[in-house]
Structure 1
Amino acid sequence: MKFIIQRDKLLQSVQDVLKAVSTRTTIPILTGIKLVTSEEGVTLTGSDSDISIESFIPSEEDGTINVEVIQPGSVVLQARFFSEIIKKLPMDTVEIEVGSHNMTVIRSGKSEFNLNGLDAEEYPLLPQIEEENVFRISADLIKNIIRQTVFAVSTSETRPILTGVNWQLENSELICTATDSHRLALRKAKVESDNNLSCNVVIPGKSLSELSKILDDTNELIDIVVTENQVLFKAKNILFFSRLLDGNYPDTSRLIPSESKTTITVTTKDFLQAIDRASLLAREGRNNVVKFNTFETGLLEISSNSPEVGKVVEQVQSTSVDGEELKISFSAKYMMDALKALEGTEIVVNFTGAMRPFVIKALNDDNMLQLILPVRTY
Structure 2
Amino acid sequence: MKFIIQRDKLVQSVQDVMKAVSSRTTIPILTGIKIVANTEGVTLTGSDSDISIESFIPSEENGNEIVEIQQTGSIVLQARFFSEIVKKLPMDIVEIEVGNHQSTVIRSGKAEFNLIGLDAEEYPHLPQIEENNVFKIPTDLLKAMIRQTVFAVSTSETRPILTGVNWKLDNDDLVCIATDSHRLALRKAKINTEIQSSYNVVIPGKSLSELSKILDDTSDLVEIVITENQVLFKAENLLFFSRLLDGNYPDTSRLIPSESKTNLTINSKEFLQAIDRASLLAKEARNNVVKLTTLSQGMIEISSNSPEIGKVSEEIQTSEIQGEELKISFSAKYVMDALKALEGTEINVDFTGAMRPFLIRTTHDDSMLQLILPVRTY
TM-score range, shorter chain: over 0.9
Residue in structure 2 matched with residue 24 of structure 1 by the alignment: 24
Cα distance in 2 between the residues matched to 1:132 and 1:285: 53
TM-superposed deviation, 1:134:
1.1
Residue in structure 2 matched with residue 35 of structure 1 by the alignment: 35
AA matched with 2:5: I
Partner of 1:284: helix, strand, or coil? coil
TM-superposed deviation, 1:198:
1.1
RMSD (Å), alpha carbons: 0.7
Question: Any conservation in 1 of the 2:135–2:195 contact (CA below 8 Å)?
Answer: no
Cα distance in 2 between the residues matched to 1:284 and 1:42: 52
Residue in structure 2 matched with residue 75 of structure 1 by the alignment: 75
1:9-50: per-residue Cα shift (whole Å, max 9, x none)? 000000000000001111110000000000000000000000
Cα distance in 1 between the residues matched to 2:191 and 2:157: 31
1:190-216: per-residue Cα shift (whole Å, max 9, x none)? 112123231010000000000000000
Residue in structure 2 matched with residue 312 of structure 1 by the alignment: 312
AA matched with 2:95: E
Residue in structure 2 matched with residue 240 of structure 1 by the alignment: 240
Question: Any conservation in 2 of the 1:283–1:306 contact (CA below 8 Å)?
Answer: no
1:318-374: per-residue Cα shift (whole Å, max 9, x none)? 000000000000000000000000000000000000000000000100000000000
Cα distance in 1 between the residues matched to 2:144 and 2:284: 30
Cα distance in 1 between the residues matched to 2:277 and 2:128: 51
Residue in structure 1 matched with residue 173 of structure 2 by the alignment: 173
Cα distance in 2 between the residues matched to 1:294 and 1:344: 23
5 Å matches for 1:270-309? Answer: 270-309=270-309
Residue in structure 2 matched with residue 357 of structure 1 by the alignment: 357
1:119-176: per-residue Cα shift (whole Å, max 9, x none)? 0000000000011221110111111011100000000000000000000001211000
1:142 aligns with 2:142: yes
Runs (4 or more) in structure 1 with deviation over 6 Å come to: none
Partner of 1:248: helix, strand, or coil? coil
1:269 aligns with 2:275: no
Partner of 1:49: helix, strand, or coil? coil
AA matched with 1:241: F
TM-superposed deviation, 1:295:
1.9
Question: Any conservation in 2 of the 1:276–1:336 contact (CA below 8 Å)?
Answer: yes
1:126 aligns with 2:126: yes
Question: Any conservation in 1 of the 2:285–2:306 contact (CA below 8 Å)?
Answer: no
TM-superposed deviation, 1:283:
4.5
AA matched with 1:304: S
Cα distance in 2 between the residues matched to 1:157 and 1:230: 20
1:4 aligns with 2:20: no
Residue in structure 2 matched with residue 116 of structure 1 by the alignment: 116
Partner of 1:37: helix, strand, or coil? strand
Residue in structure 2 matched with residue 162 of structure 1 by the alignment: 162
Cα distance in 1 between the residues matched to 2:114 and 2:73: 17
Residue in structure 1 matched with residue 200 of structure 2 by the alignment: 200
1:97 aligns with 2:100: no
- TM (normalized to structure 2)? 0.99
Partner of 1:340: helix, strand, or coil? helix
Cα distance in 1 between the residues matched to 2:221 and 2:128: 22
TM-superposed deviation, 1:377:
0.9
Cα distance in 1 between the residues matched to 2:163 and 2:100: 45
Q: How many residues align?
A: 378
Residue in structure 2 matched with residue 333 of structure 1 by the alignment: 333
TM-superposed deviation, 1:296:
3.2
Residue in structure 2 matched with residue 251 of structure 1 by the alignment: 251
Question: Any conservation in 1 of the 2:44–2:55 contact (CA below 8 Å)?
Answer: yes
Change (3 A) 1:44 1:283: closer
Partner of 1:82: helix, strand, or coil? helix
Cα distance in 2 between the residues matched to 1:147 and 1:230: 21
- TM (normalized to structure 1)? 0.99
Question: Any conservation in 2 of the 1:35–1:45 contact (CA below 8 Å)?
Answer: yes
Structure 2: unaligned runs, 5 residues or longer: none
AA matched with 2:126: L
Partner of 2:338: helix, strand, or coil? helix
Residue in structure 2 matched with residue 188 of structure 1 by the alignment: 188
Question: Any conservation in 2 of the 1:7–1:94 contact (CA below 8 Å)?
Answer: yes
1:45-81: per-residue Cα shift (whole Å, max 9, x none)? 0000000000000001110100000000000000010
Structure 1: unaligned runs, 5 residues or longer: none
Question: Any conservation in 2 of the 1:299–1:315 contact (CA below 8 Å)?
Answer: yes
Cα distance in 1 between the residues matched to 2:195 and 2:212: 27
